[in-house]
Copies of this chain bind each other. A is one copy, B any other.
Amino acid sequence: MTETGGRAGRPRADALRNRELVLAAADRAFLEQGTGASLEGVARGAGVAIGTLYRHFPNRRALAAGLLRERHAALFEYGDDLADGKPALEALAAWMRAVAAHAALYRGLAALLMESLDDEASELHEACARMAATTNNLLAAAAAQGEVRTDVTAADVHALMNAAAWMREQVPAEQADHLDELLVNGLRR
């Protein structure tokens, strides 16, 4: 079930190219104006007609999901690598900071990630599920070492990470770092 190409063989070359142009323009627009940026503006920036944008990405969430999958793979890989080495709570904290900083790149992304965790119909659900898997692992490890309150769930951590991103969208970076630490401190037993 690829996004472009339908049921038939390889997608046409011009379609692939347009898809990339749209993603690049969306990346620029979301960085500057957040995920609420005008889709007509994105299409203009990509040099394609608005219908072409909609053909590749039926809505805003699909656009964000495409960006996460194809341009932000490093975040997920970072999460996979965090399991070893460090004390477990430190690894969990590093993951929370990484997600918070990342989601804050596009203003509004944290809200999309928040609402997509439990919504299997959302185009962002896959990204959320992958994030949740990492969160689960790191939380379980920290809990096993008794470093975290026993009533903390992975859903709580998901909410707190995204809340950290949301705060980061609106306060100076140093304060945001400090707030990250207060959030992690709240998980301690």
Contact = CB atoms under 8 A, between A and B. Distances in A.
Copies in the complex: 2
Contact of A114 (B115, B160, B170): B170
Interface residues of A, number: 27
A163 interface: yes
Nearest to A188: B185
A162 B151 CA distance: 23
Interface string A146-177: 00010110011001101110110011000100
Which of A111, A152, A163, A183 has the most chain B CB atoms inside 10 A of its CB?
A163
Q: What is the interface of chain A mostly: helix, strand, loop, or mixed?
A: helix
A175 B160 contact: no
Contact of A187 (B114, B152, B171, B182): B182
Contacts of A164: 163
